[in-house]
Amino acid sequence: LLLAVITSFFGLLISAYGMRMELTDWRSLAVPNVLWLNTAMLIASSVAFQWTRRTVARGNPDGVKAGLLASGLFALAFLAGQLLAWQQLSASGQLPASNAANAFFYLLTGLHGLHLLGGLVVWGKTTAKAWGSALEPSELRMSIELCAVYWHFLLVVWLVLFGLLWSGTSVAGAWRDICSAIGNGL
């Protein structure tokens, strides 16, 4: 249910983005290249969670701890990279109030980051249990499964957002057509 709500939320934001691109005052944002590295960090975090998911099924407590640590560190690196991208844009004068494309960039990346932070809260609780107690890996299985599914979901959301933000005006017509089709009930 949570994933359905988040999907709807980001779907509506993507639709609004596509519709806003139609207006004549739209000026594309120069997306920072650091987003490529950030994307790699989020992919690595998702891969680490998938590895942890498999490790917990094998009952390997040391592997579970290592996997949880790696997935969290990669996720934190992604968030740090997002903050760096914001800093780079801010330093170049590309503030949210400067342009609608800028505002959407900050909004979409910020909301995605907040969802990742929420996931890190659950990750932190799961990691604390794995490191701080004598629990068997099987007792953490459900938490790790749910975290992994959520991480994979956030990766897919990010890849869609990244493609949307990177595409700029070169595919504005395609996005306009998609949004129009959605708005007209296909």
Residues 52-106: tens digit of each pLDDT: 999 998 888 889 999 999 999 999 999 999 999 999 999 999 999 888 889 999 9
- Local confidence band at 170 (pLDDT 50, 70, 90 cut-offs): very low
pLDDT, residue 171, reads 46
Place of tokens 């989020």: 42
How many degrees, rounded to 5, is the angle at CA 22 between CA 35 and CA 3? 50
Spatial contact of 137 and 55, defined as CB atoms under 8 Å apart: yes
Q: What is the pTM of this model?
A: 0.83
- The Cα–Cα gap between 22 and 183 comes to 14
End-to-end CA distance of the chain: 24
Rg (CA), the chain: 19
- The Cα–Cα gap between 129 and 137 comes to 10
